[in-house]
């Protein structure tokens, strides 16, 4: 096994993003892009304003019924929300893979070579 492969295997793994965090980001971005308040969207979705805030910050898990209600309140399709969540999760995975490769290359370049100089 090469040192490069061993380094990649031993590198600490980045924590996987949680669905609730990414879903909250998508909802918050949609709400803000519409210029709407938490109170407005919460009222339309029939959830409390503190609960919607917690969802947007990724602190609470939402049921499928609540997700559907928020989509309805925002006037966006569930499929579009899920697509955006998927895109963000893929982007996060790519970002972490690039960071891991960069770290592995940096670590490999700072190691001293395992070579011996033989005198004649």
Residues 17-62 have pLDDT tens digits of 899 999 999 999 999 999 999 999 999 999 999 999 999 999 999 9
pLDDT for position 37: 98
pLDDT for position 120: 53
CATH number of the structural domain 18-110? 1.10.260.40
pLDDT for position 12: 56
Q: CB neighbours (10 Å) of residue 93?
A: 13
Token pair belonging to 55: 């969802």
Q: What is the DSSP string of 44-67?
A: HHTS-HHHHHHHHTT-SPPPHHHH
- Nearest CA-CA partner of 9 in 92, 100, 89: 100
pTM above 0.85, yes or no: no
pLDDT tens, residue by residue, 62-112: 999 999 999 999 999 999 999 999 999 999 888 878 887 888 777 777 765
């Amino acid at each position: 096994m090469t040192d490069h492969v061993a380094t990649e295997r031993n590198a600490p793994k980045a924590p996987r993003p949680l669905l609730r965090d990414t879903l909250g980001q998508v909802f918050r971005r949609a709400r803000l892009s519409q210029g709407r308040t938490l109170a407005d969207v919460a009222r339309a979705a029939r959830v409390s304003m503190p609960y919607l805030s917690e969802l947007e910050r990724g602190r609470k898990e939402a049921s499928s019924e609540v997700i559907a209600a928020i989509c309805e309140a925002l006037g966006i399709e569930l499929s579009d929300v899920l697509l955006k969540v998927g895109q963000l999760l893929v982007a996060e995975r790519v970002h972490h893979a690039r960071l891991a490769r960069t770290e592995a290359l940096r670590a490999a370049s700072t190691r001293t070579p395992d070579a011996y100089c033989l005198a004649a």
